[in-house]
Chains A and B, each alone.
Chain A
């Protein structure tokens, strides 16, 4: 019997797991993908929003602003790449200035510090590539950018170190009320084996599927729509095209298309916003990709769209009530929702973790763990070292002298670390998200055979079992002449 079973190892589930791992409790996380950060958390704008968008008084507003405030300490504690680059909401028509002022007012009500409106001259000095039609912009210096993979993994790894058990490749098929707590039926996505989990409390952090699980135990139905967002990622050569996160004045379909540097030095353009029926529809579309460059060019000029190195799509978990649904379901004691976590979900994750952990602590009267480890070190990046330090590292571990990914200059040492750390990588994408090997301009053309050899040797696993990102995504299908 678990004290807490968390469904979903995205940034929300992982943040909750980490915050709960402060307490003496038996906790598990159940995730259907082969790795943490396999759903919405892996495909989003990678933004820590300042917090001026959401309606004052909403959970979105409160948790966004709180989450943003928590990021500096958190990034230090868990070694997460994070930068407060500041954000600009651009306005291209003088008659829309009212909308911008309303946003400023909303932001102030939400408690966002240091907001102000910049006029064209000041703006152009700050961002030389700002669109020619932009007349003014709302400047939020607390806006930031983060690596969503590292943020999720940092939370999950730290939870794991503090005793939380992660069940990956494990798909929840049903949840029902038991005498004490809940019975959770699961199927292993690879072996097909069934396993039953018993838990006193359940935290529902299942992203676009959170409605399904809530509706299994509660008559207070929720309804989540998958709202697709497509993105283009540009080469690092284009990474300095803008230095702030450039938004457009929001519409009712979302925050518009943004252009932002990423924390790793690329340029990100997106997202579109289209509601889709299929909650697995993470495909990009010609229309979507066409729309991106067209729309983005309203706020930023001379976008070098020829330097796109990849495109992707993510699904926002949009709840009908337009706010996060967080808390115990009214008619299902011990079933706690963290549902409808769409933008600003990533920004709010630290605060959601804190809030849900506090709820569960109260329900179960948990006491603090004396040996809680608060700090986590990320994967060592040799490029951050001096040549002398780097050579000392290579003498200790020669794998740090062996470059595997030539585009991002990632060494074998970093890949070994990614495989052998808690919740280590087991797939090419797992290695990629942890180290950036394969994330550069050649998109793994050169390094994937090398990374596969390392996985084969180190996990160890058969070459045929190595996947791109889990069950069914195998890279090779046989040996020559035997397929």
Chain B
């Protein structure tokens, strides 16, 4: 059996940043396992710009952003295997993987970082009624076909869901010669970034219909028409509001689901809200020595935050490899309430955490002129005004170790959305 100090499952932005950080923290025996043909993950199909504004202070395309990290991995001589699928991870951190050259093989790892990313919600999972013809694609599948293979999946397009990939693909399909007729969004607000709505829909005159969904798909062989309808507060279609669009393509951008099948087989606890592992301040899962970062942990809006988070996971995994698991430390749970859907991490250990810890979360609705309030037990610690908050954009709170040390008997932290100044 092969042995590595650290096995990183996934060579996308999270896996790459985690590897670089672990190496820089003194770990030499690292293996990145990537199932695709090249490092970089989904960034390779994201040929639009807008990546890296936070990390590099410049606007990069997805492949450019990925290449910055790939270069760092190469410079450090970190080992990686491409076209290799991890088949299983055991609770003892035995990783079983397979590829054409090595066959099926096992690796004994001291620590594992989960960085498998996410998948798109499919038509089936949305349970949209109608026929099942060709011409229904998830936005990401269409993106791969167009941007990496050079093939157009259709001519006349309706898009359901206003997630970022759907918005980006509305623009891409238009630029490549297709007619995007409408983007329908079930919720009364978009699930994507504001800048994408402006740059990908508004600038091209593509209508966005909020509180609308697809109620029928016509066409036995290939999509011929899609009917959308307005939905009420219960998100059920309102009879009489149907509008039929002739089209040959329906793209779906209705949410991303962290891919945690391997995590589950290892026995890692999953947060039902994020569909990602429950982690502590080290981004360590319920199994000591197994860490998680990037979209497998929770779906991010910006890759810059993925890189930051992954860097932290790499550093923490390195510490675990060098020092082993810390002695039992006091753990405090963060309670997300009143509009805060979840937090990552969910648990913190004041004695072990960094001086400043970024806690990320998403809100459950659109909030205008509200505050993010943080409480240590009943004491208000911080209150930060936010002009607009929306589910499509991640929010954060920074917890300071110094501040926490003033509350030695702390039993819980609460983060909530409050009205007013």
Residues of A within 8 A of B (CB): 232-233, 280, 282-286, 288-289, 308-312, 387, 390-391, 394-395, 398-399, 401-403, 406-407, 409, 441-446, 448-449, 463, 467-483
Q: Report the interface size for chain B: residues with CB under 8 A from the other chain.
A: 52
Instruction: Across the interface, name the chain B residue whose C-beta is closest to A475.
Output: B134
Taking a contact as CB atoms under 8 Å apart, the answer to whether B155 and A477 are in contact is yes
The 24 listed contacts between A and B (C-beta, < 8 Å) are A283-B131, A286-B129, A308-B125, A310-B123, A311-B124, A390-B104, A401-B100, A401-B101, A401-B104, A402-B99, A445-B141, A449-B141, A449-B149, A468-B133, A472-B222, A473-B222, A474-B134, A476-B151, A476-B152, A477-B152, A477-B153, A478-B151, A478-B152, A482-B177
The one of A395, A399, A403, A471 in contact with B85, judged by C-beta atoms closer than 8 angstroms, is A403
User: For the complex, is B83 an interface residue (Cβ under 8 Å from A)?
Assistant: yes
User: For the complex, is B221 an interface residue (Cβ under 8 Å from A)?
Assistant: yes
Chain A residues with CB under 8 Å of B127's CB are 232, 289, 308, 311
Taking a contact as CB atoms under 8 Å apart, the answer to whether B100 and A402 are in contact is yes
Taking a contact as CB atoms under 8 Å apart, the answer to whether A394 and B237 are in contact is no
Report B125-150 residues with CB < 8 Å from chain A CB: 125, 127, 129-134, 137-138, 140-141, 144-146, 148-150
Chain B residues with CB under 8 Å of A446's CB are 119, 141
- Bitwise, B243-274 to A at CB < 8 A (1) or not (0) is 00000100000000000010000000000000
Taking a contact as CB atoms under 8 Å apart, the answer to whether A442 and B122 are in contact is yes
Q: Tell me the bound Cα distance from A312 to B261 in angstroms.
A: 25
Taking a contact as CB atoms under 8 Å apart, the answer to whether B104 and A445 are in contact is no
Instruction: Across the interface, name the chain B residue whose C-beta is closest to A409.
Output: B87
- Bitwise, B189-204 to A at CB < 8 A (1) or not (0) is 0000000000000000
Taking a contact as CB atoms under 8 Å apart, the answer to whether A387 and B155 are in contact is no
Residues of B within 8 A of A (CB): 35, 83, 85, 87, 98-104, 119-120, 122-125, 127, 129-134, 137-138, 140-141, 144-146, 148-155, 176-178, 215-218, 220-222, 237, 248, 261
Q: Tell me the bound Cα distance from A390 to B100 in angstroms.
A: 11
Q: How many A-B residue pairs have CB under 8 A?
A: 145
Taking a contact as CB atoms under 8 Å apart, the answer to whether A312 and B132 are in contact is yes
Taking a contact as CB atoms under 8 Å apart, the answer to whether B222 and A483 are in contact is no
Chain B residues with CB under 8 Å of A476's CB are 145, 151-153
Taking a contact as CB atoms under 8 Å apart, the answer to whether A480 and B150 are in contact is yes
Q: Is the interface of B mostly helix, strand, loop or mixed?
A: mixed
The one of B101, B120, B137 in contact with A398, judged by C-beta atoms closer than 8 angstroms, is B101
Most buried by B among A280, A394, A443: A443
Chain A residues with CB under 8 Å of B217's CB are 283
Taking a contact as CB atoms under 8 Å apart, the answer to whether B104 and A443 are in contact is no
Taking a contact as CB atoms under 8 Å apart, the answer to whether A391 and B103 are in contact is yes
Q: Tell me the bound Cα distance from A282 to B131 in angstroms.
A: 6
Chain B residues with CB under 8 Å of A409's CB are 85, 87
Q: Tell me the bound Cα distance from A263 to B132 in angstroms.
A: 23
Chain A residues with CB under 8 Å of B237's CB are 286
Chain B residues with CB under 8 Å of A401's CB are 98-104
Given A467-B134, A479-B151, A483-B176, 13 more pairs with CB closer than 8 A: A282-B132, A308-B124, A394-B98, A394-B100, A398-B101, A407-B261, A469-B221, A472-B222, A473-B133, A476-B152, A477-B155, A480-B152, A481-B177
Taking a contact as CB atoms under 8 Å apart, the answer to whether B177 and A480 are in contact is yes
Chain A residues with CB under 8 Å of B133's CB are 468, 473
Q: Tell me the bound Cα distance from A391 to B96 in angstroms.
A: 13
Taking a contact as CB atoms under 8 Å apart, the answer to whether A477 and B221 are in contact is no
Instruction: Across the interface, name the chain B residue whose C-beta is closest to A403.
Output: B85
